[in-house]
A and B are shown apart, each in its own frame.
Chain A
Amino acid sequence: MTTTIDSLKTPLFDWHVQAAGRMVDFAGWSMPVQYTSIIEEHLATRTSIGMFDVSHMGRFLFRNVAALDFLDRLTTRRVAGMELGKIRYSLMMNGSGGILDDILVYHLEHLDGTPFVYMVVNASNREKILNWLKQNGDLDEWGFSDQTCQTAMIAVQGPKALDVVAKIVSPPPAELKYYTGRTTELFSAEAIVSRTGYTGEDGCELIVPAGKAEQIWLSITELAEPLGGRAAGLGARDTLRLEAAMPLYGHELTEQTNPLQVDIGFAINLKDREFIGRDAIVAAKADATLPVRVGLELDGKRAAREHCGIYVGDQVVGEVTSGTFSPTFQKPIAMGFVSPSVAKPGKSMEIDIRGKRIAAKVVKLPFYSRTY
């Protein structure tokens, strides 16, 4: 439970420490893995509101909106010609077909009406993607700047999240469609509000100047707590996204994984466009042997973890990439990659958990879908 001295700190670091957050190093940042209990923070997000400091995520600004055409050559999904207000989830691939990162691309306008492009990348991949962008274009031409350290990012998630945020953000974020965003004035500064998240709940994310972060965080906390809302750490963020079957970089998404294996067709546009990695996706379409992502439910209470082997009889058919005990369903769930021949929902298999074979079956993803 120690933090190395040179870990980066988000603008909310002091708040986390004061709230008895258990700080751990995550991708070079000192982040709270939990405050009181992962299960409690998870369930608060499912039933009310979870507040997450996600300031460690990399945030890139492109002042020249022609950057959309530049980025379009690097993204599996079309971002060229994106309408104002839209946000797209996409992957970036290397030339050999592996996934460099999963990202969000925003096309928004400042309060004064000037349009801009924004990008959010994983904390662990910030340097890599920065270098990848430099390798593929002239960043000065796109008016690029890394905004990670001068801003904070706060995710407010859960069935009551939008109501609470509406008390300080105008117009109310419920007026935004899913995966759209806008700028707004918040405590006398420009902020980005978007209807996005990584928990399987409705909610929004705020990108705010670093100097305003604590004030904004405190005012949302004050509104959320009486409704059963609470701050939630990276532990709950992981169990929430796993139940919602959202892939996580380093687990379901790696430089050794082809996007086609991950079953995220919505993030791949092949038609009438070229991008780095496209050929590898086309080639993967013709390969019926590539392991594919599946959901798994396990018997008993023991959770499968990353790298556990998946077996049918004596044969290894795949490997677990993420697993946990699901706080919502009160049983172990996992995602992994298995041969397509055994990837059908209902198929029985076994998972090797530290030398013991545990019965499991393939289930349809996601494990959890919200009902509102």
Chain B
Amino acid sequence: MKPEELLYAETHEWVHVDNSSGDKIATVGISSFAVEQLTDLVFMELPESGTTVSAGSEFGEVESVKAVSPLYSPVDGEVVSVNSSLPDNLEILNEDPYEKGWIIKVKLSGEESLTKLLDFAAYQKQCSENG
């Protein structure tokens, strides 16, 4: 996935929505900017499939040598798939945060939260201002 085509939460998660299977499925990851800011990742905790998530709520956490950072869901829905190989291979987040580094897939229960997300340009602007 190209970063330019994704939507972003202010908390640095990215979202890609796919309609092709009938259900709307959102793939969620964290941006390369976030990975770079975190550095030295050592641990990641992910939810189980079937967990209900809502926009703005914590669905997991990622830990670096220095600190723990919560992962916030950018969307409302049910987790239908989890990238379970990621916690043992956190370097994937550095190498390929937008493809192999996806974190969860969520079957959307509504689309309202999508309207609150930033497009690439707006997200870039946020990063350069607050980086």
| A residues adjacent to B (C-beta < 8 A) | 1-2, 33-34, 36-39, 235, 239, 300-303, 305, 324-325, 327, 354
Contacts and interface: CB of A to CB of B under 8 A. Distances in A.
| 8 pairs of A and B residues whose beta carbons are closest in the complex | A301-B43, A325-B42, A38-B65, A39-B40, A302-B43, A38-B40, A325-B65, A37-B39
The residue in B45, B61, B63 that gathers the most chain A C-beta atoms within 10 A of its C-beta is B63
11 contacts: A37-B40, A39-B40, A39-B65, A235-B65, A301-B42, A301-B63, A303-B68, A325-B40, A325-B43, A325-B65, A327-B65
B22 interface: no
Nearest to B70: A354
A303 B63 contact: yes
B20 interface: no
A81 B59 CA distance: 61
A1 B65 contact: no
Interface of B: 37, 39-40, 42-43, 45, 61, 63-66, 68, 130-131
Contacts of A38: 39-40, 64-66
B39 A1 contact: no
B37 A1 contact: yes
A250 B64 CA distance: 22
Contact of B66 (A2, A33, A301, A354): A33
Contact of A303 (B42, B45, B130, B131): B42
Contacts of A305: 68
Contacts of B65: 38-39, 235, 239, 303, 324-325, 327
A354 B40 contact: no
A95 to B, nearest CB: 36
Nearest to A36: B39
Candidate in B37, B42, B63, B130 with the most chain A CB atoms within 10 angstroms: B42
Contacts of B37: 1
Given A37-B39, A325-B40, A325-B43, 5 more contacts: A2-B130, A303-B65, A324-B65, A324-B66, A325-B65
Contacts of A354: 61, 68
Contacts of A37: 39-40
Given A1-B37, A303-B42, A235 B66 contact: yes
Nearest to B44: A301
Nearest to B90: A301
A237 to B, nearest CB: 12
A2 B37 CA distance: 13
A303 B62 CA distance: 11
Contacts of A239: 65
B42 A34 contact: no
Nearest to B37: A1
Contacts of B42: 301, 303, 325
B73 to A, nearest CB: 18
Contacts of A301: 42-43, 63
A37 B39 CA distance: 6
A118 B76 CA distance: 61
A1 B68 contact: no
A324 B64 CA distance: 9
Nearest to B87: A301
A302 B64 CA distance: 9
A34 B38 CA distance: 11
Given A1-B131, A354-B68, A302 B39 contact: no
A201 B45 CA distance: 34
Contacts of A39: 40, 65
